[in-house]
Amino acid sequence: MRVFTAMQVFNRVAELKGFAAAARDLGISTSSVSRHVSDLEDELGVRLFNRTTRRLSLTDDGAEYQTRSTAILQDLDDLHNSTRDQHRMPSGRLRVTASVTLGEAWVVQLLPGFLEQYPDVFVELDLTDRLVDLVEEGYDVGIRSGELRDSSMIARSLMGLRYIVCASPNYIAKYGEAMHPNQLKNHRCIRYLHPTRQSDDWWFDINGKETWVKVDGVIAVNNTWAARDLAIAGVGLCYVPDFVVKGDLDNGSLIHIIPDFDSAADSVHAVYPTKRHLSTRVRIFMDYLVSNSDVEPEV
């Protein structure tokens, strides 16, 4: 504990760039702060700070020690908090973000059961199709589909999404029906403005190999419902999750084309920042999502 206390004091001095500032922040005397740092330097056998009458700066050893000790202290804090919270009923605000389509079709139908089970949790659900920075914007959990590019996130797999190509009967009557993904370049496709990949690439299973096919069109949108509505209006072909158009396929408003080449284009994950303490409410919500991953999205 003596070493950890000295480590904590050292980190506050490094962060606040001064012994007096660290002393005020920690509520101890400046001499006590100085003694902790000196003891730590003696223990390590290196100088951690360059000290002058006007300036305090980290040495190279001090900069490396700060980086590694910060991670250790964060891990210790996380261990303490998670152990303390292990047997508490979750409470407080839970900030969640998801895409509009998946949020409306899946997350919203799960929330009543979660809130009934954990009535002391207040859920703030933000449905948006933009790519949200969970850390910068203060979200606890993000529900995302597609490739996970941020290595600073912990991800738990939830489900796969099957994307299909659809056209209205009027479109097919006017422009004909594509019989193979390679024929899509000759069709009017409704492209999707995806935040993490090109909107003119659609994913198919061709000869047992998952393949991107480049498409063209006269319009691009950043909302799945808009793509579906435009397809029903005969503007072009849409490429959307199958659950979005289930009712339209049933009533004949849309027709599923080139079904032999459908591919599971996206995986859905629940993600949270690795450097943030995993509170009981976040852990339980993640577990709840995983336990309900077999629930079909509905529109």
Q: Tens of pLDDT along 96-154? A: 999 898 999 999 999 999 999 999 999 999 999 888 888 888 899 999 887 666 666 78
Residue 219, beta-bridge partner list: 190
201-206 and 219-221 beta bridge pairing: unpaired
CA–CA separation, 280 vs 140, rounded Å?
11
Q: Which helix H or strand E contains 187, and what residues bound it?
A: none
Tell me whether residue 144 is exposed, middle or buried, using C-beta atoms within 10 angstroms of its C-beta: 0 to 12, 13 to 18, 19 or more: buried
Q: Determine if the pTM surpasses 0.75.
A: no
What per-residue confidence (pLDDT) applies to 130?
83
Q: Where in the chain is the domain with CATH 1.10.10.10?
A: 2-85
Among residues 44, 45, 52, the alpha carbon closest in space to that of 17 is found at 52
Q: What are phi and psi of 103, to 5 degrees?
A: -65, -50
What per-residue confidence (pLDDT) applies to 114?
96
Q: Where in the chain is the domain with CATH 3.40.190.10?
A: 92-156+277-291, 160-266
Mean pLDDT (the chain) is 87
- Indicate the SS3 state at residue 216: coil
Whether the Cβ atoms of residue 272 and residue 286 lie closer than 8 Å to each other: yes
Per CATH, the homologous superfamily of domain 92-156+277-291 is Periplasmic binding protein-like II (3.40.190.10)
Architecture of domain 160-266: 3-Layer(aba) Sandwich (3.40)
CATH number of 2-85, picked from 1.10.10.10, 3.30.530.20, 1.10.132.20, 3.40.50.970? 1.10.10.10
Among residues 283, 34, 244, 253, the alpha carbon closest in space to that of 141 is found at 283
Residue 130 token pair:
């933009």
- pLDDT band for 53, please (50, 70, 90 cuts): confident
Quick one: DSSP state of residue 18? S
What per-residue confidence (pLDDT) applies to 253?
97
What per-residue confidence (pLDDT) applies to 263?
79
Tell me whether residue 48 is exposed, middle or buried, using C-beta atoms within 10 angstroms of its C-beta: 0 to 12, 13 to 18, 19 or more: buried
Query: What pLDDT, in 10s, does the model give residues 239-280?
Result: 999 999 999 999 999 999 999 998 766 789 999 887 556 778
- Output the CA–CA distances (angstroms, integers) from residue 249 to 37, 131, 169, 257, in the order listed: 70, 30, 11, 11
What per-residue confidence (pLDDT) applies to 264?
67
Whether the Cβ atoms of residue 271 and residue 142 lie closer than 8 Å to each other: yes
Whether the Cβ atoms of residue 73 and residue 11 lie closer than 8 Å to each other: yes
